[in-house]
Amino acid sequence: MGLLEARELSRTYRLGNEEVPALSGASLVLAPGELAVLAGPSGSGKTTLLNLLGLLDRPTAGTLLFEGRETAQLSESERARLRRERIGFIFQSHQLIPVLSAEENVAFALWLRKMPEETCRARARRMLELVGLAGLEGRRPDALSGGQRQRVAVARALAGEPALILADEPTASLDSDTATKLLDLFEEVHRLASVTILFSSHDPRIIERAHRQVDLRDGKIISDRRVASS
């Protein structure tokens, strides 16, 4: 059984009187421990598929199973709980809370799970140390560089010990050196935690490091293959 199984997922949006297909009949299975990338140009459907797989949106048609559970049958509160406890998100724009420190941003999702305060903070500090930000726990996002903010986002995604991490264009706003260091970190996290990581990207630096490449064009999966790095 796969960690995540998508069967013929489609997503259509209404634009005025028109229905615009963003994704058409996408099927894939992610196994535990995979390091995969959804590759393709802007507008190919990568982010749409990532949002569906992460339960941030619902498909217009098709079936999505997470750890064997049919997600269409889940209530909104059950979907939110599944996201909090089993899925870590890393967004292109970081989406850190500006008034919170790095430590508090990482601990925030744990607070939502009603974990004890000291447990949340201790785990947040441990995750920040893992991503190379020890000593910067008290800084707010505006006092961190772009690469450091993205590392906080990685630490936040890891803090809940998820089964799956979804990263949407994580290197898009980073310079070459910072992006390389971030990708080194992803590979180390993948090795240490055996977590499944799925990127959405057209960055060749990410694509060349993935173990599996799923190519999208015009809202359709056109190829799905293992690559040499696996």
Q: How many CB atoms lie within 10 A of CB 83?
A: 19
Output the pLDDT for position 182: 85
Q: Does domain 4-97+150-226 have CATH number 3.40.50.300?
A: yes
- What percent of the chain clears pLDDT 90, i.e. is strictly above it? 67
Output the pLDDT for position 227: 83
Q: Residue 1 pLDDT > 70, yes or no? A: no
Laid out side by side, the sheet with 212-217 consists of: 87-90, 164-168, 196-201, 35-39, 212-217, 220-226
- What percent of the chain clears pLDDT 70, i.e. is strictly above it? 98
d(CA 130, CA 209): 21
Average of per-residue pLDDT across 51-65? 96
Q: Residue 4 pLDDT > 80, yes or no? A: yes
Q: Residue 66 pLDDT > 90, yes or no? A: yes
Given pLDDT bands bounded at 50, 70 and 90, which one contains residue 228?
low
- Of the candidates 4, 1, 9, 28, the one whose C-alpha atom is nearest the C-alpha of residue 162 is 4
Write out pLDDT tens, residues 164-193: 999 998 888 788 888 888 899 888 888 887
Instruction: Give φ, ψ of 19 to 5 degrees.
Output: -105, 125
Chain Cα centroid distance, residue 4? 13
Output the pLDDT for position 15: 85
pTM (2 d.p.): 0.89
Q: Residue 126 pLDDT > 50, yes or no? A: yes
Output the pLDDT for position 230: 44
Do 207 and 213 contact (CB within 8 A), yes or no?
A: yes
Q: Where are the beta strands (DSSP E) in 16-134?
A: 18-30, 35-39, 61-66, 69-70, 87-90
- Of the candidates 91, 30, 37, the one whose C-alpha atom is nearest the C-alpha of residue 215 is 37
The mean pLDDT of the chain is 91
